[in-house]
Amino acid sequence: MRIFIAIDLPEDVKEEIKKIQNILPDFSGKKTELQNLHLTLKFLGEIEEDILEKVKNKLKEIKFKKFKAKLSKIGVFNENFIKIIWVKLENCDELQKEIDKKLADLFKEEERFMSHITIARVKSIRNKKKFLEELKKIKTKEVEFEVEEFKLKESRLRDQGSEYKDLEIYKLE
């Protein structure tokens, strides 16, 4: 099973991201469907059922307070080789570190976690310089929301794209 840990986004945040997606500069690729928008806290990859049970039990041990997260800037990982367009989600790093610590004996810790929501996947761009100039002009409305839970999810790759299924929901205090 292909597994990851994530924070789902409330509808108002998804709507704000949709507005951003609608004004993205021209590119060839695919915008992330609204129902698939999320923040990945940790990607576990293909794991067996016995490891999945260990993960579920370890995640149940996490005691973490609810917190506020907010959308911030838009960007790309590498301006020379643009593959992902993202929006940063602020204030999620501590929860991610806590998850990393809990799973440290099962999975390697993240080396460079960057709290982002993938809003589009790029195949090609005709004019990279113009694209980046236009992208930098987009101002993100800093929508804030309370994070009350995180989820253990399964990702199934389908012809029409990824399909996500919640396996467990972990409430924050």
| Catalytic residue, candidates 14, 31, 38, 151 | 38
* Secondary structure of residue 66 in the 3-state scheme: coil
38 is catalytic: yes
Instruction: Using DSSP bridges, classify how beta strands 149-158 and 161-171 pair: parallel, antiparallel or unpaired.
Output: antiparallel
* Secondary structure of residue 100 in the 3-state scheme: helix
* Secondary structure of residue 7 in the 3-state scheme: strand
116 is catalytic: yes
Query: How far from 35 is each of 14, 17, 119, 123, 132, CA to CA, in Å?
Result: 8, 12, 11, 21, 27
What ranges make up the beta strands (E) of 9-143? Answer: 28-31, 38-46, 67-76, 84-90, 116-124
Q: What angle do CA 58, 63, 65 make, to 5 degrees?
A: 140
Residues found in the chain = 173
| Catalytic residue, candidates 116, 119, 131, 151 | 116
Are residues 91 and 68 in contact, defined by beta-carbon separation less than 8 angstroms?
yes
Task: Provide the annotated active-site residues.
Answer: 38, 116
